[in-house]
Structure 1
Amino acid sequence: MDSNSIYSLIVYSLIACCAIMACVWYWSYKIKNAGVVDIFWSYNFPVIAIILLLLAPGFEPRKLLICGMVIIAGARLGTHLAVRIVKHLHEEEPRYAQIRKEWGAVAEKKMFGFFQMQAASNVLLAIPFFISAVNTAPQLSPLEYAGAVLWAISVIGEATADRQLAAFKKDPKNKGKVCDTGLWGYSRHPNYFFEWLMWVSYFVFALASPYGYIAIISPAIILYLLLKVTGIPMTEQQSLRTKGEAFKKYQQRVSVFVPWFRK
């Protein structure tokens, strides 16, 4: 692994992501909606992938495969979030409204720092991409093919969960109800589960490259965030506030991720 190349790519990616998030923060300040950060957090991964495609010294087919995976997944999730958020652009999501309320008079200053931290997290989580993109070995490994297959399963699963939830919410008869159909009948958060599985696939892909084991940091961080910080805890707190007893019964009946992730 060429350490000079990887350090340069990290710096370029960090500059790009921080610049994008600075612009997004200014937009969010104008419209008073910090939820737009989620859209561009997703889109920043394709930005990093394009930088790697153009500048990384690795084996071209490997770069095309890993960067193509990242661009497709990031663009899909970012666009899905954009469609949802833009519909209510002048109505801030409750979780961000609550954060803004807690921060009080210094909310915008802290929000700028939060946006920059999101940019830094993009680069930190992109470790599997950097490791793979600088690998010059002239052939693809079975681990890379396995990672690509697992990635396809995760993207299809996440897209299916998102589509099922959107269809459920679109039906006026379901207002105030908890979505428990399709994948949502097996997991309270199938979208989050497949999102985590996608990061596992990037780790598996990176294992074929020197120092690929370092890439375990990405799925580990994502799992921690989803289970303990900004993912499931905040989502379920909001569901309990809006759906009350119906969501409590759903919690008792359906596992947090899949059956072996029982809570």
Structure 2
Amino acid sequence: MSPWVFAALVWALSAIVMAAVWAFAIRVRNVGYVDVAWAGLMAVAALLSGLLADGAILPRTLTALAGAVWGARLCLYLLNRVMHEAEDGRYRALRERWQGSPARFFVFFQAQAVVVALFALPFFAAASSTQSNADAWAIAAILVWLAAVGGEALADAQLAEHRADPANQGKTCRSGFWAWSRHPNYFFEWLHWFTYVLLAVHSPHWALSWLGPVVMLAFLYRVSGIPWTEQNALRSRGEDYARYQREVSPFIPWPPRSGSGSRGHSH
């Protein structure tokens, strides 16, 4: 199977699922379900790459497991947040801008189906590797995956603990990774995509594996990640978040300026 046929198959499946999730999200007035669906569909795309790609058994298995576990964990984490919290401020702002237009939100959900197909290509590239034995590249991929998914899960847990404490309402989380990066969850999600670059070293489609880290970085910095999140944080937390921006690295974890990590904003 060619990567383009695979991407088309993933897109068609994702478009159907996103249409159903859109209808549900409009009914319950919570667009946050789009993120839940995106993560879940990424897990499915990873499994499909393991089944349909033409690579050796080892890279197909590693890709399917790595992508499915990463996507499923993120899907369940987001589902728990969406079910127990108010609609994310980013989507409330969109709702106001679009005056709640179901048609515009339908296009938005369908755009996410295209994004799923795009990010499925690195999975397919990795699963097309011809390397049948666990070499240094495969071991490096496993180590990167463990660091990335473990780091993202820990950052999510630190943020969840902060948000669960009523005393922290209106305050920015500065515990753990959040003292060194304003978006450690985004950083580790980006790092995760290098797993498939390493797994795809022996693949005829290796160049496609770079879509993961390159496009993810562009999305995080220029489209739907950091800009949206920080605009919403400034609206809801004002000067507290503006000070956080001045003191803490925006993306790559780095020691904070002005001793910001010791101010005790989280716990």
- Does the pair score TM above 0.5? yes
Separation in structure 1 between the aligned mates of residue 204 and residue 255 of structure 2, nearest angstrom = 32
What is residue 229 of structure 1 aligned with on the other side?
A: 223
Amino acid at match of 2:129: N
Asked if 1:113 is matched to 2:107, the reply is yes
What is residue 247 of structure 1 aligned with on the other side?
A: 241
1:181-239, CA deviations, whole angstroms, 9 ceiling, x for partnerless residues? 11111111111110111112222222331231232122111111111221111111111
What is residue 88 of structure 2 aligned with on the other side?
A: 93
User: Residues 173 and 77 of structure 1: is their aligned pair in 2 closer, same or farther, counting only changes over 3 Å?
Assistant: same
How big is the shift at 1:104? 2.7
What is residue 261 of structure 2 aligned with on the other side?
A: none
Return 5+ residue gaps in structure 2 as ranges: 257-267
User: Residues 258 and 78 of structure 1: is their aligned pair in 2 closer, same or farther, counting only changes over 3 Å?
Assistant: same
Question: Does the residue aligned with 1:139 lie in a helix, a strand or coil?
Answer: coil
Separation in structure 2 between the aligned mates of residue 219 and residue 115 of structure 1, nearest angstrom = 22
CA-atom RMSD, angstroms? 1.9
Separation in structure 2 between the aligned mates of residue 55 and residue 220 of structure 1, nearest angstrom = 24
What is residue 103 of structure 1 aligned with on the other side?
A: 98
What is residue 78 of structure 1 aligned with on the other side?
A: 75
Tell me which moved more, 210-219 or 242-251: 210-219
Moved segments of 4+, more than 4 Å: 259-262
Match of 1:132 among 126, 129, 133: 126
Separation in structure 1 between the aligned mates of residue 147 and residue 19 of structure 2, nearest angstrom = 34
User: Residues 30 and 236 of structure 1: is their aligned pair in 2 closer, same or farther, counting only changes over 3 Å?
Assistant: same
Asked if 1:204 is matched to 2:212, the reply is no
Separation in structure 1 between the aligned mates of residue 143 and residue 219 of structure 2, nearest angstrom = 25
Is residue 143–residue 204 contact of structure 1 (8 Å, CA) maintained in 2? yes
Separation in structure 2 between the aligned mates of residue 71 and residue 87 of structure 1, nearest angstrom = 24
What is residue 9 of structure 2 aligned with on the other side?
A: 12
Separation in structure 1 between the aligned mates of residue 254 and residue 48 of structure 2, nearest angstrom = 38
Asked if 1:32 is matched to 2:29, the reply is yes
Is residue 49–residue 63 contact of structure 2 (8 Å, CA) maintained in 1? no
Is residue 6–residue 134 contact of structure 1 (8 Å, CA) maintained in 2? no
Is residue 240–residue 247 contact of structure 1 (8 Å, CA) maintained in 2? yes
Separation in structure 2 between the aligned mates of residue 175 and residue 62 of structure 1, nearest angstrom = 45
How big is the shift at 1:102? 1.4
Asked if 1:149 is matched to 2:163, the reply is no
Separation in structure 2 between the aligned mates of residue 94 and residue 7 of structure 1, nearest angstrom = 36
User: Residues 186 and 241 of structure 1: is their aligned pair in 2 closer, same or farther, counting only changes over 3 Å?
Assistant: same
What is residue 45 of structure 1 aligned with on the other side?
A: 42
Match of 1:165 among 147, 152, 159: 159
Separation in structure 2 between the aligned mates of residue 27 and residue 258 of structure 1, nearest angstrom = 36
Separation in structure 2 between the aligned mates of residue 33 and residue 186 of structure 1, nearest angstrom = 31
How big is the shift at 1:87? 0.8
How big is the shift at 1:64? 0.8
Separation in structure 1 between the aligned mates of residue 252 and residue 87 of structure 2, nearest angstrom = 30
Is residue 184–residue 253 contact of structure 2 (8 Å, CA) maintained in 1? no
How big is the shift at 1:261? 11
Report the number of matched residues. 256
Separation in structure 2 between the aligned mates of residue 57 and residue 215 of structure 1, nearest angstrom = 15
User: Residues 220 and 188 of structure 1: is their aligned pair in 2 closer, same or farther, counting only changes over 3 Å?
Assistant: same
How big is the shift at 1:137? 4.0
What is residue 68 of structure 1 aligned with on the other side?
A: 65
**Under a length normalisation based on structure 1, what TM-score does the superposition of the two structures give?**
0.91
**Under a length normalisation based on structure 2, what TM-score does the superposition of the two structures give?**
0.89
How big is the shift at 1:22? 0.9
Return 5+ residue gaps in structure 1 as ranges: none
